[in-house]
Amino acid sequence: MNNPDSAQHSHAQPLTVSGTVIGLDIGGTKTRGVRFENGMPVRDESAGSSNVQNVSREQAAANLRELFGKIGGGHVDQVYAGAGGIDTDEDAQALADLIAPHAPGAHITVVHDSRLLLAAGGASTGVAVIAGTGSAAWGKNDAGQEARAGGWGYLLGDEGSGYWLGREAVRHSLRRMNQGLEPDQLSRALLDSVGVEEPGKLIALFHSPDTGRRYWAQQARLVVEAADSGDETSMALVKQAGRDLADLAEQTIRQLGLEGPVILGSGLGMNVPRLQEAFKAKLAESGITDVRILQQDPVFGVPRLVAEQRP
């Protein structure tokens, strides 16, 4: 871990893992798989998404087959998978059923991907906030109680996410068009990126089956770049994203009676300092000061989770 205080809230007993464990971090764009032997990573590979909310069941199965072709083989004791959209036992079982053929005899655990994030932050209790293509917060306290906020998906929420930032850039461009204003810095960057000449064409493109959640989430980088160059609209959007993510964290903290830590991760959360500062500032207004930015990818939280589930 690069963060010296990252483990200060972890349990005191050593976390040891024996045997072969495959950790999966199943995102909307890709599936990351790491093979751990006695707690040490020995192979690290990726394939396409195997999240059935993002790809067909057939495509998910094909991507898992590709990934296990790279990191499977031999005896596997356990597969521990984190994925977005795991909201019910049925969701978890459906994904476990897809994984099972690739790891015969292995114990398979499927959890919401925010749980990986908390463990990768070196914490056994606290709140993890995902800020990637989508957004969500999940936490656990010492009594073992769990709580969530957000994670409703892009049609109902995902505030502060990459998709939210991309969509807001589109909305901003359309509002300027309605007001009879020329495209500004952010609008021009967006039009160039998606390959249309004027804002009115964004409407059909946005609703086209050829563009989806991931496509628009990828446009978030335009907002971040424009903010870093001083564009006031973009700065306001990135700040709002940070504050919205902090709201998710605060809701979860209050439900669990915690003071922290809050760990911010995923693509936007780990890589956008302006968003991180807005996130921290909003939480500080509520007296929440133990806030950490994840320093390693969530899949590396798997050995801790496996060790903690054993008596």
Express as a percent the part of the chain with pLDDT over 70. 94
Task: Give this prediction's pTM.
Answer: 0.82
The CATH number of the domain holding residue 268 is 3.30.420.40
Among 275, 268, 13, CA closest to 131? 268
Q: pLDDT per residue over 57-79, tens digit each? A: 899 999 999 999 999 878 899 99
Task: Check residue 3 and give its pLDDT.
Answer: 39
Let me know whether 134 and 248 are in one domain.
yes
Cα-flanking dihedrals φ and ψ of residue 285, to 5°? -60, -25
Claim to verify: residue 155 and residue 280 sit in the same structural domain = yes
Six-digit token string for 16? 């040891």
| Within a domain: 13 | no
**Model pLDDT, residue 286:** 92
Q: Rounded to 5 degrees, what angle do the CA atoms 152, 110, 125 make?
A: 75
Decide which of 105, 137, 164 is a domain's last residue: 105
Q: Is residue 225 part of a domain?
A: yes
List residues bridging with 37 in a β-sheet.
20, 40
Residue 152 pLDDT > 80: yes
Q: What is the mean pLDDT of the chain?
A: 89
Name the pLDDT band for 248 (thresholds 50, 70, 90). very high
User: Given a cut of 70, is residue 92 above it in pLDDT?
Assistant: yes
Given a cut of 90, whether residue 242 has pLDDT beyond it is yes
**CB 138, CB 118: distance < 8 Å:** yes
Where among 85, 105, 125 does a domain terminate?
105
Distance between CA 15 and CA 304 in Å, rounded?
6
* Span 132-144, average pLDDT: 90
Q: Name the band, by pLDDT with cuts 50, 70 and 90, for residue 212.
A: confident
**Buried residues in 218-254 as b, exposed as e (16+ CB within 10 A):** bbbbbbbebbeeebebbbebbbbbbbbbbbbbbbbbe
pLDDT at 7: 35
- Which tens digits make up the pLDDT trace of 274-305? 999 999 999 999 999 999 999 988 999 999 99
Q: Which domain holds residue 162?
A: 117-295
Identify the sign of the CA torsion 199, 204, 210, 213: positive
Return the pLDDT at 98. Answer: 92
Let me know if residue 228 belongs to a domain: yes
Domain count, the chain: 2
Answer yes or no: is pLDDT of 51 > 90. no
Residue 190 placed within a domain: yes
State whether 275 and 132 are in the same domain: yes
**Same domain flag for 175 and 275:** yes
Please check whether residues 212 and 128 belong to one and the same domain. Answer: yes
